[in-house]
Amino acid sequence: MGMRSAVRRWERLTRPVHPETAAVLAERWAALPEAVRTPAQSLGRHAVGCEGTHGVFPKCNLTCTPCYHSADANKVRVDGTHTVREVDTQMAYFRERRGPYAHAQLIGGEVSLLPPEDHAAALLRMRAHGREPMSMTHGDFDADYLQRLVLDDAGALRLGRVSFAAHFDSLMRGRRGAVRPRTEAELHPFRERFVQMFLDTRRELGLRYYLAHNMTVTPANVGQLAETVRAVLPMGFSMMSFQPAAHVGDERRWRESYQEMSIDAVWAALEEGVGHRVPYEGVEFGDPRCNRTAFGFLADGSWVSLLHPDDARDMAARDRFFDHFGGVAFTGTAPHLLAVKVARVLRHHPGDLVVALRWAARTVRRTGGARRLAGAARRGTLRPMTFEVHSFMDAAQVAPAWDLLQRGIVAEDPELLATQERLTACTYTMAHPETGQLVPACAQHSVLDVAENVELRRLLPLTVVN
């Protein structure tokens, strides 16, 4: 490679925003409903949204009330070859339609039912297509499975970093040692054991990891949410995510009405557990009727927000970030390349450095000062912590709203119109290369899963007859 070619390659590698990323962000922004194109909106300015797999391993070995899977999901055989092939196809389509980088969930039924080799192969295929994968699990697997997942046949790390979202709540049945939990508190030892398994693996193998804690919320357990937050905060997770239940999936597992489970009620319980306000208004992901997210960190057990929406200086810093750094991929980029990308942005916007330093100083003061922050880091009690609530919608509303969207018809009924708006602004998408569609998760689970799982039963029957 000649000097000129090397310089051109380096320029492309360190370009702050990939041209494809800039194009898909602009396309995403233009497609959003007008009401969500706010200064706080990150879709189309910093992110294209999260991605997820479908039809790759629908079977689960726990039962939940409710469950968003269709009634046929557990009648499909887990097949590693099918999983890896489908993941590769779906991720390739995401790469084509949504640019070179995004976060994607390896999701279906229970990911640990996959043989470790196939699980690892699926994660590697996701990364090959520029996706940062997260495996979705109920967490009921052992350290042996984790080690076989991350190590190759020679005993070397083939996955130096993994991300897992573990779902724990008292609505789940069949967990080893807690077959029918009556309270959330009964699951605290299992939550702690899950985190400890990763901590031990990091000490032994040097594995890096990111762990999220997921929890379905219904009228049956919302009263225990605050106590669960207080208990989980010190365990070692870096995210806590809550999903108010909706009437979607297997109707046999609907035990109560979920309509009273508003996003406001869940957020209020979250704030009760944290012990103070958790501001989410500074950054939006799609429609706020679906999603609320608060970024921050823990210092000696206290949660500190990275952005205060009632501080005009913080909001100005956010606006400058979106305007100048919005398309920069901060995760999944090698540190030395990221440093050059940031430097190239600052070359054109040097004032951003002053704004960032002042924002950092305010954040340190909110923590209690530099000495306390340094002490928390030294004691190992400084850790990122993101809070999120994601509300699914009832299938009875999604199905007709999605049908109208497919026919290009704007609903006249106010409730259906609101559902259409939420679907259009959805942050969580499934790829359908066979139809050329990118499908919102609610439409996938409410409309497409049923027929898809019927076909999978034929393709991957539980009993193979020779």
CATH (domain of 138): 3.20.20
Q: How far is CA 16 from CA 47, 217, 269, 423, in A?
A: 14, 40, 40, 31
pTM score: 0.94
- The whole-angstrom separation of Cα 59 and Cα 381 is 38
User: Could you tell me if residue 333 is inside a domain?
Assistant: no
Identify the CA nearest to 396 among candidates 445, 435, 432, 437. 445
Calpha distance 100→112 (Å, rounded): 28
Alpha helices of 349-413 — where are they, by DSSP H? 351-367, 370-379, 395-406
| Residue 295 main-chain phi, psi, to 5 deg | -95, 140
| Structural domain that includes position 238 | 49-311+382-459
pLDDT of residue 379: 93
46's tokens: 């910093």
| 24 found inside a domain | no
Would 364 be classed as within a structural domain?
no
- CA atoms of 284 and 32, how far apart (whole Å): 13
The pLDDT of residue 112 = 98
What's the rounded Cα separation, in Å, for the pair 266 and 225?
Answer: 8
Rounded to 10 deg, the angle between the 335-348 and 351-367 helix axes is: 120
Residue 88 lies in a domain: yes
Q: Output the CA–CA distances (angstroms, integers) from residue 150 to 83, 119, 142, 286, 358, in the order listed.
A: 18, 10, 13, 34, 41
Torsion from C-alpha of 124, 127, 131, 135, nearest 10 degrees: 30
What pLDDT, on a 0 to 100 scale, did the predictor assign at position 464?
61
What is the CA 361 to chain-centroid distance, rounded? 29
Q: Give domain status of residue 138, yes or no.
A: yes
Residue 256: the pLDDT is: 76
CB of 73 closer than 8 Å to CB of 450: no
C-alpha–C-alpha distance, residues 43 and 48, integer Å = 6
List, as one string, the DSSP characters of 103-117. Answer: EEEE-SS-GGGS-HH
pLDDT of residue 463: 74
Predicted pLDDT of residue 246:
87
Can you list the residues of the chain whose pLDDT is less than 70?
A: 1, 260, 464-466
Which residue has 């689960």 as its token pair?
A: 60
Q: Which two tokens stand for residue 183?
A: 């309270």
Query: For residue 94, is it within any domain?
Result: yes
Answer whether 239's CB lies under 8 Å from 192's CB.
no
Instruction: Classify residue 209: in a domain, yes or no.
Output: yes
Number of domains in the chain: 1
Q: What is residue 466's predicted lDDT score, i.e. its pLDDT? A: 52
- Does residue 355 sit within a domain? no
What's the rounded Cα separation, in Å, for the pair 58 and 75?
A: 9
How many residues comprise the chain? 466
